[in-house]
Amino acid sequence: MKEIVIVGGGLAGLSLGIALLHRGVPVVLKEAGSYPRHRVCGEFMNGVTIQTLKNLQIAHLFDDAMEHSSAHWWVGDRCVLKAKLPRPAIGMSRWEMDEKLRKEFQLRGGQLMVKSREICRPREGLVWAAGRELKRESRLLGVKAHFEGVKINGSLEMHLGRGCYIGLTPVTKDLSRVNVCGLFTQYSHSKGENPLIRAVREGGLTQLAQRLEGGEIDRLSLVGVRGVGLGAQKIKDDLCVIGDSERIIPPFTGNGMSMAFEAAESALASLYRYAQGHESWDQTRKEISQRLDRRFQTRMSLAMKLHQLLINPYGLKVFSVAAASGVLPFNWLHRRLS
């Protein structure tokens, strides 16, 4: 059986490694950072199916996960939509999720190399799952932190402001801890004040800023990423790529973590055949790329169009009116974005 080397120990890389190990494929996984760690994300998975998790041999890791069944949307300080999700979203802290996947990978016999940087160079048997590249021309900033003492009713919350949107997700079942994650196009660099609360206020979300000020931030959980590039990512020729390295869906969908697992699932069969010696590496890489396009292209196109609508002041007015008047096709959009 041929060895597979995976670069990047996030959701896509770890889950793919676990699934390959389950099939008897030797896997080496190289991660530039270390565990446990926080990541900028909404900390809920919108769209992933139990069958995908079973196919990756990781469904049991989510037995104690939260399930979110409803979502509330605000434009400014006004709640314009309360909706029941067509399918519950799985909720879990990334700190916990990544750690569970790491332990499972090593339990299955995978070789994990942390603080190990790899040059992005195509070669046979190498899968690149190392996450996004810095887009210096991008104005987008992602920030996330956990808060305690912020009241939330158990639903997912999405707050739309001037050039930004911020999601709130309960992290604990007693609702005592809340994940706050935002994507911003405008932000200042003044010192002193909490940068996340400052960015929320500058986005015109006064009531949300006051709610966050009434809570207590976990400073260790405060992380941010600059130069976020959404959509298809630039890929080197002949490089086998999955996860955020391949494409990044706008975060308002809550579908990013789901896509990581779906990408791993899409790559699994081809990599297994390659490891058995039944397919060439070139054929394997092309098959994976084609599967990812078929699975994500339509979803991604719709998400990118809606993202532009939500960060545009005129588009935001259209969304607000449609949602408040009950003509926004929320269920239709939810199904196609997940």
- At residue 188, the pLDDT reads 66
- At residue 225, the pLDDT reads 87
- At residue 132, the pLDDT reads 74
Measured CA to CA, the distance from residue 9 to residue 279 in angstroms comes to 25
Residue 335: enclosing H or E segment and its boundaries?
helix 330-336
**Could you tell me which residues come within 8 angstroms of residue 269 by beta carbon, excluding any fewer than 6 positions away?**
none
- At residue 192, the pLDDT reads 61
CB 175 within 8 A of CB 66: no
Q: Model's pTM, two decimal places?
A: 0.95
- At residue 191, the pLDDT reads 62
What parts of the chain have a pLDDT lower than 70?
134, 188-193
CA atoms within 13 A on the CB side of 279: 16
CB atoms within 10 A of CB 75: 23
Name the burial class of residue 256, with classes exposed (0-12), middle (13-18) and buried (19+) by CB atoms within 10 angstroms of its CB.
buried
pLDDT, one tens digit per residue, over 43-54 is 999 999 999 999
pLDDT, one tens digit per residue, over 262-302 is 999 999 999 999 999 999 999 999 999 999 999 999 999 99
Domain 4-135+229-336 coded CATH 1.10.287.70 = no
246 SS3 class:
coil
Nearest to 221 by CA among 136, 327, 305, 148: 148
**What separation in angstroms does the CA of 90 have from each of 41, 143, 251, 321?**
13, 21, 15, 29
CB 38 within 8 A of CB 223: yes
Measured CA to CA, the distance from residue 237 to residue 256 in angstroms comes to 24
Measured CA to CA, the distance from residue 178 to residue 175 in angstroms comes to 7
CB atoms within 10 A of CB 199: 24
Sheet holding 44-45, edge to edge: 44-45, 78-91, 66-75, 156-161, 164-170, 177-184, 141-148, 216-226
